[in-house]
Amino acid sequence: MQVVFTSKARKGLRKMPAADRARLVEKLTAFAETGSGDVKALTGSPFLRLRHGQWRALFEIDGDLIVVRVAHRREVYD
């Protein structure tokens, strides 16, 4: 499975500190390869979320892992 970032997700990644950004991308890649990680389905939403510290990545799986949004936990669920 390949990890694909939307433009909104890339914008969120640019706002993150470099160390957190690298670790989050690493976790997404690992999940795409193995299917394991801190991932949960969101209630009432078609998206899944992956956590890294205070940061969240919302994504869906449609052949590839498509990252829809990356943001701080206080902003990501709006």
The pLDDT of residue 36: 87
The pLDDT of residue 1: 83
One-character DSSP codes across 20-48:
HHHHHHHHHHHHHHHS-SSEEEPTTSS-E
Residue with tokens 């949004």: 69
Using CA atoms in the order 63, 34, 28, 4, what is the torsion angle rounded to 10 degrees?
-20
Task: Return the domain boundaries, the chain.
Answer: 3-72
The pLDDT of residue 22: 95
The pLDDT of residue 69: 92
Which CATH entry fits the domain spanning 3-72: 3.40.1590.10, 3.50.50.60, 1.10.1270.20, 3.30.2310.20? 3.30.2310.20
Q: For the segment 31-78, what is each residue's pLDDT rounded down to a tens digit?
A: 999 988 889 999 998 999 999 999 999 999 888 888 889 999 998 887
Tell me the pLDDT band of 26, cut-offs 50, 70 and 90: very high
pTM, full prediction = 0.88
